[in-house]
Structure 1
Amino acid sequence: MELPPDLLHQAHYWMRLTRALDDRGTFLHKQSKIVGGYFSQIGHEAISVGAALALGADDVVAPMHRDLGAYLVRGITPQRILAQYLGRVDGVSHGRDGNIHGMGDLNYGIVGFISHLPASLPVMVGMAHAFVLKGEARVAMGFYGDGGSSQGLSHEALNWAATFRLPMVFICENNQYAYSTPVARQMHVANIADRALGYGMPGAVVDGNDFSAVYHAARTAVERARSGEGPTLIECKTMRMRGHAIHDNMAYVPPALLEEWAQRDPILRLEAHMRERALLDDAALNDLLVRIETELDAAQAFAEQSPYPDPATLTDGVYAEGGFL
């Protein structure tokens, strides 16, 4: 089923913005303007954007460190993201974190990333259960990776969601390596989504570098969850095209594997599809790239002009104010 042109144009913008913002962050890190680790998500754009676009305005999502597109789609601006990276007061965590770990904003239905994977999943299952108890037609979506799928919390979350038929969508990003451990050294199943049957829920395996495939699967799962039919596990097969973090040179990954996946770049594939449907040409692509670079130049200027937080506010938000909640 062909997706409508306006959705493809939206996806193209968000995926190109995600890639450009990722590159901008890498550049700022090399300039020593971003202190500490920096996590690239190049190769994951179709997953984060495709899944996020399938959600409704009142739904909630818990992205990970390679889901920059989901943050953007849901409403966190490049200005706030770059200010976050630079540890400035206008960042999402107001300068309390210089990394993506502080990137939560419930005003946009985004639950902040929990570094210990897949600890976000039980949180999202809890929110999904709350929606049921409150009679709200809302859906929770949680992202995790192939490495996180081997952790106990993922099994507990999947089992709970299935047992109580919760409106939950699990997005497993199988990018071949949990840091330096390949999938073949983690499990003896062909697909992570095959495990869904053991919990009593549908499992789907999709090409994570194909926006249309991700969107269709996520949309089907969201609609199923919202109608009361319970959770779905979607495994998106992709490849992490840069190291676990900026310091990782990926020496453990065969170069031929990276070259193979580079030929399946999710953005280039979407653009090829749009060209086939006469929805994109060289002039339109160039205009979009110029527009995005202009947006990011303004966002970087905003972030660099944002002040560092006042040390006197260090403990603000650590404890609940005004007594017990």
Structure 2
Amino acid sequence: MVSRAAPARQSPPIPAGLTRDHLVEIYRYLRLTRTLEERLTALYRQSKVIGGLFRSLGQEGESVATAYALARGPNQDILSPLIRNLGSMLVMGAPPIEILRQYMAKAEGPTRGRELNVHFNDLEKGYLGQISHLGDMIPVMAGIALTFKLRGEPRVGLVYIGDGGTSTGTFHEGLNFAVVQKVPLVVIAEYNRWAYSTPPEKQFAVKDLAEKAKAYGIPGTTVDGNDVLAVYEATKFAVERARRGHGVHLIEVKTYRRTGHAEHDDQHYVPKDELDWWAKENDPVDRYVKQLVQNAWVEDRDLKGIDEGVKAEIDEATDACVDEPLPPPDSALDGVYIDPPAAPRHWYRGL
């Protein structure tokens, strides 16, 4: 009797038109986001970070996947991140060393120590720093998307809004304007369970944020925000729809904020068993790794190699900038007044 080896297991097709290289690149951005934020947390606890630190732990997947669906490069699509969308900026090309410098208010940072966290732009790479007032980036991005339409450019804008932010007047005004003008804009509504310390049932009466889209006459899609490929597929569809001239699309991503509003927030208002469940059962990075390995799309050793490379990159970036100087005090007026040296050095003490 001739023994025969069992047939090799066939991997299921990779979804959404992606390739193995795409899957690996997405994983690298996920790992880069988490590792960079872990480093920022360590620096914050050493008092090297100036101001607040806002982490995306537990919701990195939706930031990376949504940005990955855009056209990237000079004069391509533009997104506007919120404080928890660091992953989207990395996908668009923000260098980790610039983010480290920005958080530590270094003189060589993107804003020369004058702004904090993700409040900075690189329009050539395709990201626009947020305005702190929640909801305000909806009308800003509506205006940017309108310029794409008026110029006949095949470009798309993407903007993030938190569940609490959908309660603001500017969210309504900006979205209504964008819809009426039929601009190429994709709105990512993040249902992450907590608007600072306010649960969703005290913010709005609808079950799903996507239901709000009905009032504006636009498509509204709800997707599992911790399923990286599902988020990518939904966003890719909305982006290409907008690019073809069909207007605004709202995507609700169901995810979870596993840290406080910022590092200073101890989350005493969140049940511990709730946090534990999301960490153990619904972590977006863990779920993505499991999907890659179980479907034999990527081998575990390849992912470990990426982990090592990302850690080395963050170590190198940290070492390169952690001891850089802060901006000199007498440069505070640079970029504010047309002729700063003409002002008395300590003019403000007379106020």
Moved over 4 A (4+): none
Shift of 1:320: 7.4
Aligned pairs, number: 320
25, 28, 40: which is aligned to 1:13? Answer: 28
Corresponding residue for residue 40 of structure 2: 25
Q: After the TM superposition, which of the residue ranges 277-286 and 202-211 deviates more from structure 2?
A: 277-286
Aligned AA (1:237)? K
Aligned AA (1:17)? L
Corresponding residue for residue 37 of structure 1: 52
Q: Please say if 1:196 is aligned against 2:213.
A: yes
CA separation in 1, counterparts of 2:209 and 2:262? 24
- Normalising by structure 2, we get a TM-score of 0.88
Corresponding residue for residue 277 of structure 1: 295
Aligned AA (2:94)? I
Corresponding residue for residue 253 of structure 1: 270
Cα distance 1:201–1:8, how it changes in 2: closer, same or farther (>3 A)?
Answer: same
Does the CA contact (< 8 Å) of 1:52 and 1:70 recur in 2? Answer: yes
Shift of 1:309: 1.8
Question: Per-residue CA shift, 1:153-194, capped at 9, x if unaligned?
Answer: 111111111111110000011100100000011111110111
Superposed, which structure 2 residues align to 1:144-159 within 5 Å? 144-159=161-176
Superposed, which structure 2 residues align to 1:294-313 within 5 Å? 294-313=312-331
Aligned AA (2:68)? L
Shift of 1:282: 3.7
> SS at 2:252's partner residue?
strand
Structure 2 residue runs without a partner (length 5+): 1-13, 340-351
140, 143, 146: which is aligned to 1:126? Answer: 143
Does the CA contact (< 8 Å) of 2:20 and 2:298 recur in 1? Answer: no
CA separation in 2, counterparts of 1:198 and 1:98? 36
Q: After the TM superposition, which of the residue ranges 180-189 and 32-41 deviates more from structure 2?
A: 32-41
Corresponding residue for residue 52 of structure 1: 67
Cα distance 1:139–1:31, how it changes in 2: closer, same or farther (>3 A)?
Answer: same
Aligned AA (1:46)? G
Question: Per-residue CA shift, 1:26-64, capped at 9, x if unaligned?
Answer: 110011111321111111211110011111121111000
Corresponding residue for residue 167 of structure 1: 184
217, 222, 240: which is aligned to 1:223? Answer: 240
Q: Please say if 1:266 is aligned against 2:289.
A: no
Shift of 1:283: 2.4
Larger radius of gyration: 2
Cα distance 1:318–1:171, how it changes in 2: closer, same or farther (>3 A)?
Answer: farther
Aligned AA (1:15)? L
Structure 1 residue runs without a partner (length 5+): none
Q: Please say if 1:64 is aligned against 2:82.
A: yes
CA separation in 1, counterparts of 2:141 and 2:254? 22
> SS at 2:102's partner residue?
helix
Question: Per-residue CA shift, 1:94-138, capped at 9, x if unaligned?
Answer: 2112422x2322121211111111111110000011111111111
Does the CA contact (< 8 Å) of 1:34 and 1:98 recur in 2? Answer: no
Does the CA contact (< 8 Å) of 1:143 and 1:171 recur in 2? Answer: yes
Corresponding residue for residue 19 of structure 2: 4
Corresponding residue for residue 292 of structure 1: 310
- Normalising by structure 1, we get a TM-score of 0.95
CA separation in 2, counterparts of 1:121 and 1:300? 34
Give the root-mean-square deviation of aligned CA atoms.
1.5
93, 97, 102: which is aligned to 1:79? Answer: 97
CA separation in 1, counterparts of 2:148 and 2:305? 42
234, 237, 246: which is aligned to 2:254? Answer: 237
Corresponding residue for residue 229 of structure 2: 212
> SS at 2:322's partner residue?
helix
Does the CA contact (< 8 Å) of 1:105 and 1:111 recur in 2? Answer: yes
Question: Per-residue CA shift, 1:197-220, capped at 9, x if unaligned?
Answer: 110100000000011111011101
Corresponding residue for residue 347 of structure 2: none
Corresponding residue for residue 157 of structure 2: 140
Identity of aligned residues (%): 43
CA separation in 1, counterparts of 2:78 and 2:333? 27
Aligned AA (1:104)? N
Shift of 1:304: 1.4
